[in-house]
Amino acid sequence: MYLADAAKEIGVSSITLKRWILSGKVSDVARDKNNWRVFNNGDIERIRNYHLQISEPAQITYCSEQPKHTIASFFSGIGGFDIGFEKAGFKVTVQCEIEPFCVSILNKHWPSIPKLSDIKEVKIDDIPTSTVWVGGFPCQDLSLARMGQRKGLRGSKSGLFYEFARLVGEGKPRVVVIENVAGLLSSHKGRDLGILISTLAELGYAVGWRTFNSKNFGVPQSRQRVYIVGCYRDERGPGQILFEPECSERDTEKGGSNGTKSKTPFQEIVGDTSGEGPVIQSIAYCLYATSARHTGTDWSRNYACYPNVGMVRRLIPSECEGVMAFPKNWTLPGNHILEGDDLDSARYHALGNAVTPPVAEWIANKVMSYLNGEN
């Protein structure tokens, strides 16, 4: 059977099954002459056992040991950073978020964690002592997806970085991890990145940065983001966290003969084109938050197609959760303060602004190794 039927047999979505295979969490299966994955009964049983193993007792399995390192979460959104760091063994001490919908999601999943609202009003005494501070300050004034001239760090949204820096200067956490759109690298011809680095350097931090694409971490989405790491008075720290000591062999598909190009990841599909559908791309284009109408996402490029019916539709919020590698129904608030299109729009918007948890987890594991003195 093919991927869609195999996913149904196992009890997961096609996107989830494809993500497990791409990330190496389950071994790949044989392919037919058309390069479609073909699952036999042994494959189904093997993957079903994996699914049952990770499904109990909860969707997210956190480290069972008592955490000795803690994080303070700023611009928390719906908790992408927090999920990743908790899975790596950190304990969240506080979350700072001003958007009411995002706060409702944080309260659903972290009901006992103290919440702070407007970062401009936060005082250092409000923040519990924490080893690591994480945050993705607003990207609206930096994003290339924004229409018109970018204001960069001069903007009212992205300029909130300075409020974060104010608190960092007073709190002096050992490690700072910042996420933002890749547009930060080119904003005002690189001057905004220079300002950010020099600001942290003046506070005593050695700084490094690296761009990661979520699709390389088992996430079914091409999503490039820049991650900036600052280590207090340790010039070796950022390199140890962000970079590997050795490069592995590249896994690239060879081009065909006579100059024909290999397929891009966006051309590979999930679903049976001969059935009733839906058929979707195996790797989605980047989801981002917008203010356009009620969609909140660029669904004109990411869609589900029903080829035998002649219909297309935008991805629904629960599918976007899968595309962002969040657990299903993560963005359904405990108390439904919104309904219908308003609720969908809030979920799209929150997901488009989020940090993908697998990338956060990778960085968190590297931070943990650094803090524990491991090479």
Residue 299 pLDDT > 70: no
Residues carrying CATH 3.40.50.150, the chain:
70-243+355-371
Q: Report CA dihedral (198, 199, 204, 210) to the nearest 10 degrees.
A: -60
1-57 CATH fold: Multidrug-efflux Transporter Regulator; Chain: A; Domain 2 (1.10.1660)
For residue 193, the surrounding DSSP H or E stretch is: helix 191-202
Q: What confidence tens digit (pLDDT) does each residue in 17-57 have?
A: 877 887 778 888 888 877 788 889 889 888 888 877 765 44
What is the distance between the alpha carbons of residues 21 and 177, in angstroms, rounded to a whole number? 29
Residues carrying CATH 1.10.1660.10, the chain:
1-57
What value does the mean pLDDT take over residues 49-75?
69
- Whether 139 sits among the annotated catalytic residues: the reply is yes
* CB neighbourhood size of 227 (10 A): 22
CA-closest candidate to residue 255, choices 247, 263, 267: 263
Q: What confidence tens digit (pLDDT) does each residue in 176-209 have?
A: 999 988 877 776 676 888 888 898 999 999 999 9
Q: What share of the chain is helix, strand, coil (3-state, %, to 5)?
A: 40, 15, 45
Q: Which of 3.40.50.720, 3.30.310.50, 3.40.50.300, 3.40.50.150 would CATH assign to domain 70-243+355-371?
A: 3.40.50.150
What value does the mean pLDDT take over residues 315-329?
91
* Token pair belonging to 122: 């936060």
* Per-residue model confidence (pLDDT) at position 65: 55
- Name the active-site residue from 139, 231, 286, 320: 139
Residue 313 pLDDT > 80: yes
Give the distance, in angstroms, between the CA of residue 2 and the centroid of all CA atoms in the same chain. Answer: 28
Q: What is the pTM of this model?
A: 0.76
What is the distance between the alpha carbons of residues 98 and 256, in angstroms, rounded to a whole number? 51
* Per-residue model confidence (pLDDT) at position 34: 72
Q: What confidence tens digit (pLDDT) does each residue in 227-256 have?
A: 999 999 999 999 999 998 766 565 555 555
Q: What is the DSSP letter of 214?
A: G
Find the range with the poorest average confidence among 6-15, 56-65, 72-81.
56-65
Q: Are strands 115-116 and 205-213 parallel, antiparallel or unpaired?
A: unpaired
Q: What confidence tens digit (pLDDT) does each residue in 113-129 have?
A: 999 999 999 999 999 99
